[in-house]
Amino acid sequence: MAGSAVHPPPGPALKKSDFHYDLPPELIAQAPLPERSASRLLVVPPATEEVADRGFEDRVFHELPELLAPGDLLVFNDTRVIPARLYGQKTSGGRVEILIERLLGGAEVRAQLGVSKSPKPGARILLDAGGEAEVLGRDGEFYRLRFEVPESLEKWLLKAGRLPLPPYIQREAGHDDDTRYQTVFAREVGAVAAPTAGLHFDQPLLDALKARGVQFGHVTLHVGAGTFQPVRVDELDQHVMHSEWLNVGAGLIEQIQRTRAAGGRVIAVGTTVVRALESAMRDGHLQPYAGETRLFILPGYRIRSVDALITNFHLPESTLLMLVSAFSGKARVFAAYDHAIAQRYRFFSYGDAMLLFPSPTEDAR
């Protein structure tokens, strides 16, 4: 499996608590703005010795073409979110909530179950939307299920499943979420959470970027339910990273090589793109790769695959905040978060975005 946990170089041991910050709850965005590209964009240029915690620019996301140059390459994650939440009842009694974590092919899935008593292999769940699911076995916190439904599972889920909004959004998914919690370029079915940096792009913005001479490329990384799981240990070298499936194709690697040879920049749209590209690195070079990754990027790891990163604001003590801190430097990122809180930016999946540049030093602690 590509991308095992990455340990930083010798130095003070990193702890989960090192990545805590206090966020006023009212800054957690509960719904998207009416227009995707109307979100705010905090531009965070590289820190210098003279300007360690300043130099931030408060922009609007639709101004992104002004910040990029002809020949730059934006890399998107083209995964598509499936309506992965279902409800039912065990034949032996008791309600069940099913959150599909991954489609395994055919009618089988890996899923988390919300249930009062863990079902054993062979147990059957009567689904509220019709049909049944059989429990085949268990692997840690996940169960393997086989569905018995009247059509292909993917097609059936589009009608029967509910969109699994993140747990910090304190409402049920509505009709608008079916569209807005999906990027406009989503095509490869398999995620249970959106690659949220991509949610800010609408077709007029993509057209403006293309007119600017910016190129587009794509990876696929199916975001799993593990992205919402908290880090449960304080010593980060003890953390076991969740696994996700990705595909980095040869065509994208050729695009990246041409871009850099011509002096252009590679800009990742989201942390999932960074994780995919870094998982495809072999001996310092990108190689085509399709498969699983458990790559855990934290300060001390040098990200080499991209030159800039567009990303949303991430939860305190999350692995995504650790990845961003590895890219731009922890002190720089936390100064930017302080600025964003003071300026009342909107946080998390339906919130605002940042444009980040790398730390000028190899060790981004």
Task: Kindly report, residue by residue over 327-360, the tens digit of the pLDDT.
Answer: 999 999 999 999 999 999 999 999 999 999 997 7
Tell me how far CA of residue 106 lies from CA of 31, 126, 336, in angstroms. 34, 19, 45
Region 90-117: what's the mean pLDDT? 92
User: Which residue matches tokens 């003279």?
Assistant: 50
pLDDT at 2: 62
Token pair for 219: 């990876």
Segment 290-297 mean pLDDT: 96
Judge whether residue 278 has pLDDT over 50: yes
Residue 272 host element (H or E): helix 271-279
How far apart, in whole angstroms, are the C-alpha atoms of residue 78 and residue 280? 17
CA 227 – CA 217 distance, rounded (Å): 23
Query: For position 361, what pLDDT does the model report?
Result: 61
pLDDT in tens, 297-332: 999 999 999 999 999 999 999 999 999 999 999 999
Looking at residue 9, its pLDDT comes to: 47
Quote the pLDDT of residue 48: 66
pTM: 0.92
Band of residue 10 on the pLDDT scale cut at 50, 70, 90: very low
Average pLDDT over residues 62-84: 97
Residue that wins the pLDDT comparison between 224 and 200 = 200
Q: Summarize the confidence of residues 47-67 as an average pLDDT.
A: 82
Taking residues 80-109, report their average pLDDT.
93
CA distance 195 to 203: 17
More confident position, 172 or 34: 34
pLDDT tens-digit readout, 131-188:
999 999 998 889 999 999 999 999 999 899 999 899 999 998 888 999 999 999 999 9
What integer pLDDT is reported at residue 208 of this predicted model? 98
**What pLDDT does residue 331 have?**
94
Confidence of residue 258 (pLDDT cuts 50, 70, 90): very high
Residue 181: count of CB within 10 angstroms of its CB: 22
* pLDDT at residue 363 tops 50: no
Three-class SS of residue 356? strand
Give the whole-angstrom CA distance, residue 60 versus residue 352.
Answer: 9
Q: Which residues pair with 242 in a beta bridge?
A: none
pLDDT at 224: 87
Amino acid at 1: M
* Cα atoms in the 13 Å half-sphere on the side-chain side of 86: 31
Tell whether the model's pLDDT for residue 78 goes beyond 50: yes
Across the chain, mean pLDDT equals 92
